Each structure stands twice: as C-alpha cells, then as structure tokens.
Amino acid sequence: MSQEVDLAALILAAGAGTRMKSSLPKVLFELCGRSMLEYVLDAAASLEPTRLVVVVGHKGQEVIDAVENRWSTAQHGLNLNFVWQKEQLGTAHAVMSAKPSLEGFQGDVVILYGDTPLLTGDVLREFYEVHKTLEADLTIMTAFLENPGYYGRIVRDCNQNVKKIVEARDLAPEEMNIKEINAGMYVVKSEILLDLLSRVGNNNAKKEYYLTDIVELAAQRDLKTATYMCQDTFVAEGVNDRYVLSEAESVLRIRILKDLMLSGVTIRDPEHTYVDFGVEVGLDTVIEPGSYLRGKTKIGPGCVVGPMSEIIDSSVGQGSRVWFSVVENSKIGSNVQVGPYSHLRSQTCLEDGVSVGNYAEIKNSTIGKGTKVHHHSYIGDSDVGCDVNIGAGTVTVNYDGARKYRTRIGDGSFIGCNSNLIAPITIGNRAYVAAGSTLTDDVPEDALAIARERQVLKEGWVVKKKQS
C-alpha cells in the first residue's frame, strides 16, 4: 500500500498561444462547447487535490473570469486559486510563479498544461497511482508517437533510465529518431520541485526557462525518475494550433457520442452529429444526421432529433420530434412536433402535444397543450391557451417600433388565416377570428370577430369592360 500524501495540482495557462494566431487566450478555445482549460480542470479535480492552482498571465483576467463563470468550484468542492506569471519566460518560470501558492505545502505536486484537453481523470489517476506505487521523486507521462513532431523527446541512457527531455528544436542529430515524447504532465515531490526549479537556466533555442530541464537535474542528482507511458496517444495531444484543435475536437466529439450510444441513444451518423459536453439525451432517442445539441440541452427519452436541427440551451420532453429546425433557450414538452423549418427563439415554452410546423417562428411565448401553429405564422410575446388553432400566416403584432406588447389567446379559440393580432390584445376562450382580420380590440369568449373589408361583387363587369 502506498502512503497517503497531500496533493497539490498546478495548471499552467499563462502562455499567449502564439501559434493559434488569435486574440483569444489559447486555453479558452472551445471544443464541444467547453474551453480546453475546463477539461484540464476536470481531470485535475478528479484527483481531489487539497490545493488547485491555475497560473495565468497573457490576458489572465479573461482566463480567470471565464473559469469563475463557467467552472464551478462548489460543484467540485475544491479550493481553486489563481496566480500570476507577469512575463511568460517559460514553463519552469510559470511553475516558479506559483511558489507562493505552495507556501507551507508538503506532498506531491501534479503539474499540467492548460492546452491538453484530451486528458481524462481516469488516465491522470492511473498516472498518479504509478508515481505513488513506484515511490518516485519525479514521474513524467510519456507517449509513443510515430511522428513526434514538435513534442519534447525523452532521452534515456543505456539502462533505459530517463536522462533528460530535449525540446524538438534543441534536438541533437542522434536524438532525432526518438519517438517517446513528453506529454507535459508531471508529479514531483514538493521539496524536490522547488530545489530543482531554482537551478533551471534558459540556455536553449527559445531562451526560455523550460520545466522539462528538471528531469536532467533530477538525473544528475540520482533522484528517482519514473515514467508512465500513456497508451491512448490522444491524451497526450497538446493543442498549439487550430489544426490540432480541430483534431482534438473530433476525438472529444466521438468520445461524447460513444458514451451516448452506449447509454441507449441511436446516432445514425456520428461523423455528422455534434453534441456538446454535458448534454443529456434519454433512452431510445434517435439523433439524425446534421444535428447540433449545444450548451445546457436536455433531450428526453424516445425523441427524434433531426435531420438538420440545432438545439441550444433547451429541454425537450419525451416522444417529441424536432426536425429541420432551430430551437434556442426554450422548453419543449412531451409528444411535441417542431418542424420542418421552424424557429423557436428565446423563452418559448411548448406544452405537451403542441405542433409547430412549416416556417413558423415563436419567441418569448407559452403555447398551451395540443395547440397547433403552422404555415408561416409568427407568435411573439404571447400566451396561447390549449387546443388553439393558429391559421396560416397569423402574426402577433407585438412591436410598435418602441415597445413590445403581449397577446393573449384563450383555450379552444380559432384564429383564421392571415390574421394580424395587434398587441396588447386578448382573444377570449373559444372565440373565432375570421380569416384576413386585423384586430386592434379584444374579443370576448365565444364571439366571432371579423375585421376586414366586405367583398364587393360586380356581376358582368368583365364583359362590360370588353365592350366599352
């Protein structure tokens, strides 16, 4: 049994991410709806460290704000702190900047980079177990890559002990064919870390203080360095440019879809289905190609989503269907039909059994049970009752150019085609509105309202015109 020791986790997120060529700090780039940094924070949190520290620098306040808004420390029950690295002088310098946050700490320090979003809690825990089991002073995560590209390489001596890590641009000719790379994840005993860091120099191609240099310093002092070779090479992927970002996002996307499929969701074409991290989908729901489920979306069981639908921050009950449509920040009940070609905008609530179809748009409205809204209608800022029939081309005229007003439509009423309901207006229960009406006044319940010109009929008019 390995002994329990205190654990601190440091995440380095101060770099500019120059190769991303962006005004956004690199660690805030998103994959499947979340920033890279949030994934790394999740992995770190799964170790339940007593201190969790993020080193920020380039656009650091933006990074802090993003984490505080989106990543809940309360949920993880952790003590999260930010420290500043004012100048980005390299990864060792970044860890040095975090020294004050390790004041009085004794134990193991896990160091991670904020640009490795494919790292999982499972892998990280296994890595840490290896460190403890081998009772190493320093453990590094490595991976074997056919094309090691820009990663630092693990140089071993003739006994296979780790001698040093050499950055790609500093490789000697005889080191060029090494395929074991540095994944950028380390566990070091705290007292050793601080001692080794103080000896790191910047005599290299980039004139930076490399954290990787602690490996050679450890070897020189006969400290015990262990390695953990990660079998899933994607885990080691460090995102430095937008091409790798897209590769990493594909891996994450397939991970998310696979989890859903194994939990009982049918995904017809995973290559063309996009589901954000954290989206929930119920049993036996089918997701058709070209569909996007984003943000805090929750789909119930037995639904069909797609083809070609985008659902953002919305919930859908059971047995509903959304096809060729866009749904934003809305709530859809059970056995509801949306589409084809409909747009539910913010704050729309469709109760059970509602049907919204061809080219209808709804915004900031509640639509009661069993009501039908089809064919080119616009319902905005409205409270529509149950079992209402909204005829083709109905428009709630909710905006006078300055203010918005509400429309109320009672249960069981019938709104004829091409009606304009000029808000504020109330249509009573079971009322009828004649087709083509432009209503400016309320309609009491059980009444018929007709608000249009009477038809004029001129018998034989065409014949007379031709004779004249």
Residue 340: exposed, middle, or buried by beta-carbon count in 10 A (0-12, 13-18, 19+)?
A: middle
Q: Which of 33, 49, 238, 393 binds ligand UD1 (CB under 6 A)?
A: 238
DSSP structural state of residue 2: P
Q: For residues 119 and 449, which CB has a smaller minimum distance to Ca ion in the complex?
A: 119
Q: Which of 167, 276, 310, 351 binds ligand UD1 (CB under 6 A)?
A: 167
Over the window 304 to 323, marking each residue x when it contacts ligand UD1 by CB under 6 A and - when it does not, the resulting string is --------------------
The rounded distance, in Å, linking the Cα atoms of 4 and 12 is: 25
The rounded distance, in Å, linking the Cα atoms of 164 and 145 is: 18
Nearest distance in Å: CB 113, Ca ion: 6
Nearest distance in Å: CB 152, ligand UD1: 2
Nearest distance in Å: CB 86, ligand UD1: 10
Phi and psi torsions of 100, nearest 5°: -60, -30
Q: Do residues 353 and 333 lie in contact, with contact meaning Cβ atoms separated by under 8 Å? A: yes
339 binds Ca ion (CB under 5 A): no
Q: For residues 155 and 308, which CB has a smaller minimum distance to ligand UD1 in the complex?
A: 155
Nearest distance in Å: CB 146, ligand UD1: 15
115 binds ligand UD1 (CB under 6 A): yes
12 binds ligand UD1 (CB under 6 A): yes
Tracing tokens 């489920």 back to the chain, one arrives at 293
Q: Do residues 406 and 385 lie in contact, with contact meaning Cβ atoms separated by under 8 Å? A: no
Residues forming a β-bridge with 53: 10, 81
The rounded distance, in Å, linking the Cα atoms of 234 and 414 is: 58
Active site residue 375: yes
Helices (H), 148-241: 190-197, 213-220
Q: Which of 38, 42, 108, 115 binds Ca ion (CB under 5 A)?
A: 115
Residue type, position 369, single letter: K
Q: Do residues 109 and 99 lie in contact, with contact meaning Cβ atoms separated by under 8 Å? A: no
Stretch that binds Ca ion, among 79-87, 114-122, 208-216, 442-450 (CB under 5 A): 114-122
The rounded distance, in Å, linking the Cα atoms of 69 and 452 is: 53
127 binds ligand UD1 (CB under 6 A): no
Q: For residues 91 and 366, which CB has a smaller minimum distance to ligand UD1 in the complex?
A: 91
Binding residue count for ligand UD1, defined by CB under 6 A: 31
Half-sphere exposure of 349 (CA within 13 A, CB side): 11
Q: Which of 98, 102, 211, 279 binds ligand UD1 (CB under 6 A)?
A: 211
Phi and psi torsions of 229, nearest 5°: -90, 120
The rounded distance, in Å, linking the Cα atoms of 346 and 314 is: 9
Nearest distance in Å: CB 189, ligand UD1: 19
240 binds ligand UD1 (CB under 6 A): yes
Catalytic residue among 76, 272, 375, 376: 375
Length reported for the chain:
468
Q: Which of 165, 257, 287, 379 binds ligand UD1 (CB under 6 A)?
A: 165
Q: Which of 35, 212, 330, 342 binds ligand UD1 (CB under 6 A)?
A: 212
Residues forming a β-bridge with 438: 420
Q: Which of residues 209-238 bind Ca ion (CB under 5 A)?
A: 238
Tracing tokens 């656009």 back to the chain, one arrives at 59
**Residues of the shown chain interacting with Ca ion in the complex, contacts defined by CB under 5 A:** 115, 238, 240
Give the active site residues.
375
**Residues of the shown chain interacting with ligand UD1 in the complex, contacts defined by CB under 6 A:** 12-15, 27, 55, 57, 85, 88-91, 93-94, 113-116, 151-152, 165, 167, 181-184, 210-212, 238, 240
